[in-house]
Amino acid sequence: MPPRRLLILLFLLALSTLPAAARAADGAPVVLVVGDSISAGYGLAPGQVWVDLLAARLKSEGYRHRMVNASISGDTTAGGRARLPALLAQHRPAVVVLELGGNDGLRGGALKSTRENLDAMVVAAQKAGARVLLLGMKLPPNYGPAYTREFDALFAGVAAARKTAFVPFLFEGFGDDNSLFQADRIHPTAAAQPKLLANVWPALVPLLGRR
């Protein structure tokens, strides 16, 4: 037998002898979360952030998906756009959840750039074969009505243009409750994390496919 064919045969034989659980884990579809401190779990203990709660719920509901949390505190849409290609190549996700833009708005950045960055990330994820869920955010009113309206609308605009799943406001249902935010009034507490998951879950489930 030619050496090349022999090597291929040996590789396939080795693969077939792996434990079934290991092979299943290797083939599990990936849900990739690309976000900022809200999803990175700023101020929270390990395991408390909504992404961790999502991983646990996926398991309890019988989904074999594997969570990859690529969120970084302080990240912007420009930062997410720059690092997304490598994340897509490394993890080959089935679903990409984009939770970025809040820091752009809080810093008073040019919203045209924010929109372009989000759009580029959606397009890149879709071209890589992933389904996309875009999580919207809102700004406090002290940023001025015109700026806050434009900020609010850009998420819906990108979602509509690219036909992605969409959560209009990640803090829906508790955004005005100061008791569910840390002292900075920006980052939700541990008690708020199940509410974040509750807002994400209905939009995410249709993207997961088979259990």
37 a catalytic residue: yes
- Cβ-in-10-Å burial (0-12, 13-18, 19+) of 83 comes to middle
Catalytic hit among 60, 176, 179, 184: 184
Q: How many other C-beta atoms can be found within 10 angstroms of the C-beta atom of residue 115?
A: 21
Q: Which two tokens stand for residue 38?
A: 């809200």
Answer yes or no: are the C-beta atoms of 34 and 99 closer than 8 Å. yes
Catalytic hit among 36, 37, 75, 104: 37
Catalytic hit among 65, 71, 104, 187: 187
Listed residue (129, 145, 131, 71) closest to 101, CA to CA: 71
91 a catalytic residue: no
Letter for the amino acid at 3? P
Q: Which two tokens stand for residue 49?
A: 């952030």
Phi first, then psi, for residue 181 (nearest 5°) are -125, 150
**Angle formed at CA 124 by CA 123 and CA 126, multiple of 5 degrees:** 65
65 a catalytic residue: no
> Any residues with CB less than 8 A from the CB of 189 and at least 6 apart, and which?
43, 44, 179, 180, 181, 182
Phi first, then psi, for residue 129 (nearest 5°) are 90, 10
Q: Which residues are catalytic?
A: 37, 184, 187
